[in-house]
Structure 1
Amino acid sequence: MTNKEIIEKTKEYVKNKLEGEGSGHDWWHILRVYNNALDIAENEGNCDIFTVELAALLHDIADWKFHNGNLDKGSEIADFFLSGLNVDKKTIEHVADIIKNISFKGANVENTITTKEGMIVQDADRLDAIGAMGIGRAFAYGGFMKREMYNPDVPYEIHNTFEEYKSKNGSTINHFYEKLLLLKDKMNTKTGREKAEKRHEFMLSFLDEFYSEWDGKI
């Protein structure tokens, strides 16, 4: 089986698994991350594009948020699936490592992504968490988890450990300060940083509008 055929099989598999998902971690999120990863890879160069493609497509196949904080579940599923397509072991291990380490785990938690391919996919994933897409996904996820949209009596928190971060239960607006507004400065690649600038500014404008409407000023 050629690499192109493996990518097409992977797209089909992920689409069947995630199509119609309602928390913002659906097939269309995957496709946006995939396209962004390809664009970043093209601009950055000098990377294994096959690994980038597979990791982008499989990065949310079993997100820890829906599996009791289990960071290994997605890697295990990806390993099993790719082994069934006879992908070489080195590539499978690389993809599995990216999937395990891609997630944001708290403002002050060290990023454990080390390879260029991983950095590219992580940037692509983080780009879809900010800007207009990020705002839409944040409120979709908040509603899915039955969280308040905003509660001015509950301040946001800066998390120092993954345990603190995954146990949080604040409002969607708090999530902007606990994660989304931090991502611009956590981008790994030059292309990722450039893409993040406009999206970051859009979120700041949105928050200005949100607070003005909340307070009845406009």
Structure 2
Amino acid sequence: MPALKMPSMRIFRNYLTPQVFRTSKFFTTKHKMATAAELIPRVENHVKQYMSKFDASHDFAHIKRVVHRAHIIHDEIVADAAKKNQPVPQYDMTTITLSALLHDVGDRKYVDLKRENPKTVINTLLLGFGADSELAVKIQAICSAVSYFEEIKDLQVVRNLIDQYPELAIVQDADRIDSLGAIGVGRVFTYGGAKTRRSMLESIDIFDWKLLKLRPLMKTEPGRRMAQEATGRLEQFKKWWVEEVVIEDGYELRIT
């Protein structure tokens, strides 16, 4: 009987989890580290599946917007520096792309703590897909610091981390822009309906205690420009909201 022909390694890498891939007989310690061209598609495929179980406020469409916006912010920073004859900042594009792809993996709003450790899940995933250990540590550190609520615990910690990993500033701004503007409005109500029992009025309160506080925390000049316009849209929506819900505070039951 002829020997069975094994599928190509590319097929296995698309479907095995990073942990299984790392420990399978198809992977050995002698296997070379993955190149960026190999690593990024593996991570993208994994994140696409990972985010498929989340609601639409934190789905893969959100990830794609953050990746796209992070690239725009990077390109504008470089273009602005060149236009002003200033030294062009050096960023690692692989780090930006991977961090934008992975920034919601292990998100505490969704993570199953019985299966994943938010502090190490990204590092483990990247090592499983063949990333260099230094890169894996770097991406884990960046993704762990993207969160607004993590930052406000200690602003200086994030400042120090940006000094070490400047790509964090770009990814953080890109993620926060997606909480503003029309998209931000949609995400607020989507999350409120999917994950909580809060009323629409309670969802609007998030504008004041989080969303309208994001603009001063933007780290890049392009991020600040984008946030200014998108925050204006939030403020306009809130104004319309107040005008339209005033009935809730004073209505009458007419008899005749």
TM-score (norm 2): 0.71
In structure 1, the partner of 2:214 is 183
Task: Give the alignment of 1:90-105 within 5 angstroms.
Answer: 90-105=134-149
The separation in 2 between residues aligned to 1:177 and 1:209, in whole angstroms, is 15
Question: Residue type of the partner of 2:57?
Answer: G
Task: Give the aligned residue type for 1:203.
Answer: L
Which amino acid letter does the alignment assign opposite residue 101 of structure 1?
Answer: A
Contact 1:129-1:135 within 8 A present in 2 as well: yes
Q: Which of 48, 56, 59 matches 1:26? A: 59
Instruction: Quote the Cα distance in structure 1 between the aligned partners of 2:218 and 2:168.
Output: 12
**Structure 2 CA distance for partners of 1:107 and 1:2, relative to 1, 3 Å:** closer
Can you list the C-alpha shifts for 1:25-72, whole angstroms capped at 9, x where unaligned?
Answer: 1111011001111111122242111111111000001211224899x9
Is residue 110 of structure 2 the alignment partner of residue 66 of structure 1? yes
Distance change >3 Å, CA 212–CA 131, structure 1 → 2: same
**Stretches of 4+ moved more than 4 A in 1?**
none
On the 8 A contact 2:36/2:94 being kept in 1, the answer is yes
> Which of 47, 61, 69 is 1:14 aligned to?
47
Q: From the superposition, tell whether residues 69 and 202 of structure 1 become closer, same or farther in structure 2 (CA, over 3 Å).
A: farther
Residues 148 and 172, structure 1, Cα contact 8 Å, conserved in 2: yes
Structural RMSD (CA): 2.2
Where 2:109 maps in the other structure, the secondary structure is helix
Over 3 Å counting, the alpha-carbon distance change for 1:140 and 1:102 in structure 2 is same
> Following the alignment from structure 1 to structure 2, what is the Cα–Cα distance between the partners of residues 43 and 75?
32
Structure 2 residue aligned with 1:163: none
Q: Is 2:39–2:130's contact at 8 Å kept on the other side of the alignment?
A: no
Structure 1: distance between partners of 2:134 and 2:221:
27
Q: 2:197 matched to 1:146?
A: yes
Q: Secondary structure at the match of 1:65?
A: coil
Asked which structure has the greater CA Rg, the reply is: 2
Residues 185 and 43 of structure 1, relative CA distance in 2, 3 Å threshold: same
CA distance in 2, matches of 1:16, 1:54: 16
Which residue of structure 2 aligns with residue 2 of structure 1? 35
Alignment map for 1:104-123 (pairs within 5 Å): 104-105=148-149, 109-111=153-155, 112-113=157-158, 114=162, 115-123=165-173
Check whether the contact 2:106–2:122 (CA below 8 A) recurs between aligned residues: no
Gap runs ≥5 in structure 1: 151-170
Cross-structure match for 1:76 = 120
Q: What's the CA shift string for 1:61-95, capped at 9, x where partnerless?
A: 1211224899x934422111110122111111110
- Alpha-carbon distance in 2 for matches of 1:34, 1:53: 6
Residues 170 and 220 of structure 2 are in contact (CA less than 8 Å); yes or no, is this contact kept in structure 1?
yes
Alignment coverage as a number of residue pairs: 196
Query: 1:55 and 1:188 mapped to 2: Cα distance?
Result: 16
Instruction: For 1:137, give the aligned amino acid.
Output: R
Shift of 1:203: 0.4
Q: Any conservation in 1 of the 2:105–2:121 contact (CA below 8 Å)?
A: yes
What residue in structure 2 maps to residue 162 of structure 1?
none
